[in-house]
Every structure is written in C-alpha cells, then in structure tokens.
Structure 1
C-alpha cells in the first residue's frame, strides 16, 4: 500500500473511531482479547477462524465436517499429536482442498 493510501486509511479510521466514541485503549484491549482467543484456540481452519472447543460448534467447522472432513484435521499444534517437523512444513492456507471431501485422509 502506498503512503498516500495508508495516510488516508488512518484518517478514515480515526474519524470513525471518534464518531463511535472508540478510544485507542478500547481498540488495544479488543486486539489483546482476540489474541488471547487465538492462543487458546483448539481448532483452526486455513483462513484463521478458530474455536476453543467450548460452546456450540461454529458454522465453518460444522460445514467442513458435513463435507467429510475430520475434526482432528483442524486441531491446533498445541492440541495436536503431530510431529513438530511436520507441523512446521505444512501450510494449510495454500491447501486448495481444505474443508472438501478431497481433503479426507484414508487409512488403508
């Protein structure tokens, strides 16, 4: 993003924050809360949606499971028994089949 667009976006965001009475500290605490949820998330999809495993299962996970994906496919590294070397080399964001029946793992 070029500098002019960046400055324009910052001015727009400041205006909207002022319009709704949002203080920078409010924004900082909301971001910190989001990070806490991300850290304790037990399940995560390729686009970054998360679920802690508490409460009702989110729609994105229900849809993936109904499409044939297994729940353990979405377990985060802290909840997953996968070897560290495998976790570091796999980037699920680029998986074109994530959440589809083609992503099912079959044990023969």
Structure 2
C-alpha cells in the first residue's frame, strides 16, 4: 500500500503533466487558427462577427405609430412592451381597436 505522501507526489506530477499537455494543445490550436486565418485572409473582426460588409436590415428607419391615446396624444407602434397608458385603458375595459389609427 502506498503512503499518502507518495500518492500526493503522484498527484502533483500528474497535474503538472496535465497542465503541460493543455499548454501544448492550446499552442497547437492557436497555430492552426493563425494558419487558417492567413490562408483565408481573415481578421479578428471576422471571427467576432463584426464584418463591415454586414448591413442592418432595418437601416434605422422609424416605424409608424399604430395606436394613439386620444387624451394625451401619446402613440405606440405596436412593438415592444405596451405603454402604461394603454395597459391602464385595456385593464379598464377598452380594446386595442379603440386606439388604432
């Protein structure tokens, strides 16, 4: 039977071997990635998904309002959370069609 000291020494030796193997594997992976990047002309921005060729589909256009509060004049496009004025009116028995433009 091995002593605790011998087992702890074996454990430390295994942990060192594991760390060395991980370091080597990581270096190999980085080398492969760099080679592929050079081969295909890729940059870090390409890998991050921040390609300058990608354009927003919306283009930043504003959406027209679909609902309006006749009392305050506030509007809502129908996207996102319902505004408080509309939630209160709906809770009071009104329908969404009552506010449609």
**What TM-score do the two structures reach when normalised by structure 1?**
0.34
Which has the higher Rg, Structure 1 or Structure 2?
Answer: 2
Structure number with greater CO (CA < 8 Å, separation at least 6) is 1
